[in-house]
Amino acid sequence: MKSLFYRMLCIVSMLILTSWGFFAHKKINHYAVFALPAQLAKFYKSNIDLITEKAVDPDKRCFTDSAEGPRHFIDLEDYRKESTVDSMPIHWSQAKEKFQERQLLKNGIVPWQINLTYQKLVKAFQAKDYKRIIKHSAELGHYIADAHVPLHTTKNYNGQLTNQLGIHAFWESRLPEMFSEKYNLRVGKANYIKDPLAEAWGIVRESNRLVDSVLSIEARLNRQFKASQKKSFIERNNQLVWTYSDSYARAYHEAMNGMVERRMQKTILRVASYWYSAWLESGQPDLTNIEKIKSSDKQDHIDITGKKRIGREEWM
């Protein structure tokens, strides 16, 4: 019996420990390709499978690199306590002067990571390093997506402070997997981002304003549903998994009135816009005649088999 329980626990853990879920991250990068202008679209469409697949590499690195975890979130409350969140220096060098680097890393650095990865993409475009263009495009999409998740901007990232443990994966994995097929993810065309760092900070502040709704709506539903109605076994990837029931997930999704869909839509448009802006800033190199990069060339393939997440286990 203990062995069976352990196997079930491992299955559940692997299914819920990823930000936005592997499913949603891949879908976001995939749809972002279709928001690009023609000058970029051909290259990205030719390599859409690889850009989609590599969307989850940053999450995989959380199992092998202790420095990776803080790149996915930022706990804004720690700055709000000091009435500094709105006056927070957005440039890394200035932030380090005001706060110790250790504190910045502890609180998370996702807006700075977005800007850093953006700059790497600009350099990859300038060098016409096509493998690096794909790598940094895919990973930039991941960090931008994380910044759009409200629970990536709060210390109460998994409802652990409000008796809502498990809400992180519920919001960003269970709901998109259940309902995203009905979402309208064609978001129009990418636009130029004048200040990528300021944009990243705008994203996390925008996400943080939704935290209260994410938590309070679920708390209200929890009071309305019987415990026996809240969770159930569902079949997922040919496995039975104990998780939030379909009826509870549907009620939560409806009560949020399209929030998850809107966050995914904004993510997709902004991912495409960051890619487009990096290409413009790099001098608009011609990519129209580039051959498809072989998906078998995975020199930086990350194997997480049998590994445990390092650092904050925010989706457990």
Q: Is the pLDDT of residue 209 over 80?
A: yes
Least confident of 74-83, 176-185, 257-266: 74-83
pLDDT(233) > 70: yes
Amino acid 8: pLDDT = 43
Percentage of the chain beyond pLDDT 90 is 74
What integer pLDDT is reported at residue 299 of this predicted model?
46
**Residue that wins the pLDDT comparison between 10 and 25:** 25
Average pLDDT on 280-308 reads 71
Tens of pLDDT, residues 91-130: 999 999 988 899 999 999 999 999 999 999 999 999 999 9
Q: Residue 241: its pLDDT value, please?
A: 85
CB 11 within 8 A of CB 236: no
pLDDT tens digits for 152-187?
Answer: 999 999 999 999 999 999 999 999 999 999 999 999
Residue 136's CB: how many other CB atoms inside 10 A? 24
| Total residues belonging to the chain | 316
pLDDT band at 311 (very low <50, low <70, confident <90, very high): low
> Is the pLDDT confidence value at 309 over 90?
no
Residue 139 has pLDDT above 90, yes or no: yes
pLDDT at 20 over 60: yes
Give CA–CA dist 147/239, Å, rounded.
30
At residue 65, the pLDDT reads 83
Looking at beta carbons, which pairs linking 99-108 to residues 24 or more positions away fall under 8 Å? 103/78, 105/70, 106/70, 107/70, 107/74, 107/75, 107/78, 107/79, 108/70, 108/71, 108/72, 108/73, 108/74, 108/75, 108/152
Whole-number Cα distances in Å, 307 to 64, 65, 127: 8, 11, 35
Which of left, alpha, beta for 306 (phi over 0: left; psi -120 to 50: alpha)? left
| The pLDDT value given to residue 78 | 82
- CB count within 10 Å of CB 265 equals 20
CA distance 35 to 262: 16
**Torsion angle of the four alpha carbons 46, 41, 21, 257, in this order, in degrees rounded to the nearest 10:** -150
Does position 43 have pLDDT exceeding 50, yes or no? yes
Total-model pTM: 0.89
Question: Domains along the chain?
Answer: 2-281 (1.10.575.10)
pLDDT the model gives residue 32: 99
